[in-house]
Structure 1
Amino acid sequence: MNDALTIVNKTAPVMPVAQFKSLDHAKACAELFAEAGVPAVEVTLRHTDAWQMVKLCRDLMPNARIGVGTVLNRRQMLRAVDEADFVISPGFSRELSMLAHKTLTTYIPGVATATEIMAAMAEEHRVFKLYPAEAIGGVTLLKSLAGPFPDAVFCPTGGISQANYHDYLALPNVHCVGGSWIVPSEEALAKDRKGYLAMLKSLYQRSL
């Protein structure tokens, strides 16, 4: 719905799934992402300071779309409406879908089965986060889903790494993947910031 398709297409090939460990970590990564031209990032709500991390990314990455991930309930959704550019859930919730429609919020629901895809499509969604991708069938599952759901677009997340993400991107129904491996730890960033910057620029060079 809304511009979910634009989000995943613009973010290709990889949507950074950021589980920052601290505010300093978030700040350092946001500065790195801004310098590299990362077009969007999903900040997960898995830390007590997650909302402050979202604000840091919005402040330090003015040219990027900042999303909130791991949104599970109405309270989180309503806050995300005000503080983020898009919302991602690990599963599908009709209540969250209705809130997204009502507030004109870009919402990418998570799905793991054909039944969930059908339920989400009935609510006018066609862009989905397949989660947890590797654990539920990965590339094989996505190939199987292409037949009955030719209009569905996926951003698979969960178990995807530098070693296998190309296998996903080779599928026509996958427009980008979600990955945490491109979010360096504080230690890795301190050791090799230049290396991470070069890697990120290489990933996103076609959209820079």
Structure 2
Amino acid sequence: MGSKTDKLLAVLKLQPVVPVLIVEDAKDAVPLARALVAGGLKAIEITMRTPAALEAVKRVAGEVDGAVAGAGTILNPAHFEAAVAAGSQFIVSPGTTPALLSAAAGSDIPLLPGAATASEVMTLRQEGYEVLKFFPAEQAGGAAYLKSLSSPLAGTLFCPTGGISLKNARDYLSLPNVVCVGGSWVAPKELVAAGDWAGITKLASEAFELRA
């Protein structure tokens, strides 16, 4: 498990914010990813919430220099396999099931599994997972809740996602058990629809600066 954890951490440590994208039209994927990479955000999570998602992963993985394409909202082994086949270099799930963990165990591609309670974290630790997605972050108790897990569940690192914005990202990033946050605010629907790639690069640059 160690090497996959290292592989995942290498991706998550590239930047303080991992963009969480809902791509409605695959033709937007490449310019959108290029805009994010130009702002410093190389690891990109494309969620499997639209029919265009797998094609978007394929295009970003194949055509965007510097991008590390990942797939999110992976719910079952079929999703996992399709995302890996499309070129995903990391996989993100909102929660976990035994079937999904089994699919992940048989793959070289690392999984960032979702957890929201101490029991879920403990179960995933037992399976060898040290880096987890805390989801839905704000709704599940926010930075204060995550801070309270840092002592009893020491050694676990989180990427909180859900309800995070430029305003509250630092609350999470200042915690000792947070490696990065996931956020959709760096690629707002209206900027994507307008093809305002410069606007997205600006938001990505602001997000990248949160590391400081």
**TM superposition score normalised by structure 2:** 0.88
Report deviation, 1:188.
Answer: 5.9
| Equivalent in the alignment of 1:49 | 52
The 5 Å alignment of 1:87-98 reads 87-98=91-102
**Whole-angstrom distance in 2 between the partners of 1:32 and 1:170:** 27
| Equivalent in the alignment of 2:115 | 111
SS at match of 2:106: helix
Q: State whether structure 2 residue 4 is matched by structure 1 residue 22.
A: no
User: 2:186 touches 2:207 (CA, 8 Å); kept in 1?
Assistant: no
| Equivalent in the alignment of 2:164 | 160
Q: 2:131 aligns with which of 127, 141, 155?
A: 127
**Whole-angstrom distance in 1 between the partners of 2:120 and 2:112:** 13
**Whole-angstrom distance in 2 between the partners of 1:100 and 1:185:** 31
Q: State whether structure 2 residue 106 is matched by structure 1 residue 102.
A: yes
SS at match of 1:136: coil
Paired residues, number: 206
Report deviation, 1:192.
Answer: 4.9
Report deviation, 1:162.
Answer: 1.2
Structure 1 pair 197–124 and aligned structure 2 pair: CA distance change class (3 A) = same
**Whole-angstrom distance in 2 between the partners of 1:137 and 1:205:** 25
SS at match of 2:160: coil
Deviations 1:86-106 (A, max 9, x none): 111000223222222222220
SS at match of 1:15: strand
Deviations 1:43-101 (A, max 9, x none): 00000111111112112323221111000011111122322101110002232222222
User: 2:47 touches 2:73 (CA, 8 Å); kept in 1?
Assistant: yes
* Structure 1 runs not aligned, ≥5 long: none
User: 1:100 touches 1:106 (CA, 8 Å); kept in 2?
Assistant: yes
**Whole-angstrom distance in 1 between the partners of 2:58 and 2:174:** 34
| Matched AA of 1:38 | L
| Matched AA of 2:106 | K
Which is worse superposed, 21-30 or 62-71?
21-30
- CA-based RMSD of the aligned residues comes to 2.1
User: 2:32 touches 2:192 (CA, 8 Å); kept in 1?
Assistant: no
| Equivalent in the alignment of 1:194 | 198
**Whole-angstrom distance in 2 between the partners of 1:33 and 1:163:** 19
**Whole-angstrom distance in 2 between the partners of 1:179 and 1:158:** 7
**Whole-angstrom distance in 1 between the partners of 2:84 and 2:197:** 33
**TM superposition score normalised by structure 1:** 0.90
User: 1:127 touches 1:154 (CA, 8 Å); kept in 2?
Assistant: yes
SS at match of 2:171: helix
